[in-house]
């Protein structure tokens, strides 16, 4: 009976080792997926940074507006998005070219707010007080 008990224990140890190997493999796969996701996110952020840099180089006043907004986001009730050109990501060069050809430049340089109070605040602070050109689009409740 002691032999059967020892044999049972060895089988359980062996099954546990197999299960441990399976779990270790799953963990390794998840870590690889996480690393791939982080790399993709880094690339997206780099692309976004280059796009912002290019847009702001072409439109210095837009950069002034963006800088002011970035420093004063806490003043707003809801998120403020923009400039729209910095927020858009496309899957292909053709799609990007189509957007550039068919969407007015003034719209691509616009900011999007989600409530009337933020619209008024942004317009007053940027356009009236700082005399910077700005286009603001109101999308109620972000819908």
Spatial neighbors of 123 by CB under 8 A, at least 6 apart, are 134, 136
Residue 143: the pLDDT is 61
- DSSP class per residue in 32-44: HHHHHHHHHHHHH
Give the alpha-carbon dihedral of 138, 92, 86, 74, to 10 degrees: 70
Band the pLDDT of 45: cuts 50, 70, 90.
Answer: confident
How many CB atoms neighbour CB 32 within 10 A? Answer: 10
H/E stretch holding 138 reads strand 136-138
Over range 116-140, report the average pLDDT: 94
Report the range of poorest mean pLDDT among 59-63, 97-101, 117-121, 123-127.
Answer: 97-101
How close are the terminal C-alpha atoms of the chain, in Å?
A: 72
């Amino acid at each position: 009976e002691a032999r059967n008990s020892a044999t049972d224990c060895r089988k359980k140890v062996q099954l546990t080792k197999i299960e441990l190997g399976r779990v270790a493999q799953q963990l390794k796969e998840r870590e690889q997926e996480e690393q791939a996701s982080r790399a993709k996110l880094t690339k997206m952020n780099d692309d976004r940074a280059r796009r912002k840099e290019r847009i702001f180089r072409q439109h210095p006043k837009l950069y002034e507006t963006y800088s002011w907004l970035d420093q004063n986001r806490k003043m707003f009730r809801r998120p403020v998005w923009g400039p729209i050109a910095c927020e858009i990501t496309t899957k292909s060069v053709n799609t990007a070219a189509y957007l550039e050809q068919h969407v007015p430049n003034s719209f691509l340089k616009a900011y999007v707010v989600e409530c009337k109070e933020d619209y008024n605040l942004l317009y007053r602070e940027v356009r009236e007080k700082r005399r910077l050109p700005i286009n603001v689009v109101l999308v109620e409740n972000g819908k």
